[in-house]
Each structure stands twice: as C-alpha cells, then as structure tokens.
Amino acid sequence: MNVLDSTKIAGPPDMESVKRLASVTSILASRLMRAMRKLALQHDLSFPQIMIIWNLSRKKDFSSSRLAEMVGTFPSTATSIVDGLESSGYVHRKQDTADRRRVSITLSAKGRVVVDQLRDEGLERWKEMCSEISADELNAAASILEKIVSRRQNEQETDEIKIKKEVA
C-alpha cells in the first residue's frame, strides 16, 4: 500500500498534527540552514551571499529589490552584497536598455561552479539524512510537501497580483 493512500481522507487536519509537522519542519530548516552556513564558509562566502547566488541559480536574472525580498533584507543591503559578489566574479550586472533604472543581476560562470558544488554537497547531505527511509516514504513525503508549497505559492502569487493591481 502506498503511504499516501492513508492520507487521502478528507477533512481538516487536527491541531496536534499541524503542531507536529511545524515542529519537525522547523528542526529540519534549522539543520539545513546550519549546513548551508558551513558550506558558505567553505567557499569563503557569507550566508547572504550564498542565498543570493542560490536564488540566481533558480531563475535567469533578478532585480536588486527582488533579491532583497527573497533573502529578507533591505534593498541597500542586497546591493552591497551584490557589489561584493560582482567584485569577486560570482555575478554580473547589466543595465536594462529599456529602463535605465533597472539593473539585471545574473550568475557568472564562477557563480555557476559554486552552485553546482553546493547542489552536489547538499544532495549528498540529503542522501545521508534519508539513508534509512524507503523510496516510497521519500516520495510520499515529497508529495505532501509539494502540496503545502504549491498551496502557499498560489496564495503568494495571488497576493502579488492583488498588490500590482492596487498599485496600478
């Protein structure tokens, strides 16, 4: 029997289950953040620098304000972080020809190498953490987390659309 089969019962979750999931994901997030900080230090980068590089690897380019939002800092702080990354050769900046106020930030080849190393090291860490979990259990956990992330993503996109309409 698939692990997910038992989770298809309709109805709201009970608060104890929600608390348990929140607690476990909080512990996991803390451990992953510590691991990311260690990896950052191994590459002589700060945690905010790694977060910017990582986010740039997931999309072609970003503006400074969007990167600031994603890493939870002020735009001026993100600009300073990007300055350091650019001077170290991890990112490139390009001014938008249509809107000179907009600057696009992209990963350089050096930045991509770091991302590849981080991804490989991170996957090895995940493989070690999941060594005693079956493929079915991993797939079930991934499916459940995808549902949670998808729901939150849809809410966030809806909020962003509402904000854009209000501003326009």
Q: What integer pLDDT is reported at residue 16 of this predicted model?
A: 92
DSSP 8-state class, residue 62: B
CATH architecture of 21-132: Orthogonal Bundle (1.10)
Taking the chain (168 residues) in runs of 10, the rounded mean pLDDT of each run is 51 87 91 84 88 85 79 88 94 83 86 91 88 94 88 61 46
pTM over 0.85, yes/no:
no
Q: What burial letters (b/e) apply to 46-61, b meaning 16+ CB within 10 Å?
A: eebbbbbbbbbeeeeb
Residue 156 neighbours by CB distance under 10 Å: 10
Enumerate the domain spans of the chain.
Answer: 21-132, 134-168
- What stretch of H or E contains 92? strand 91-95
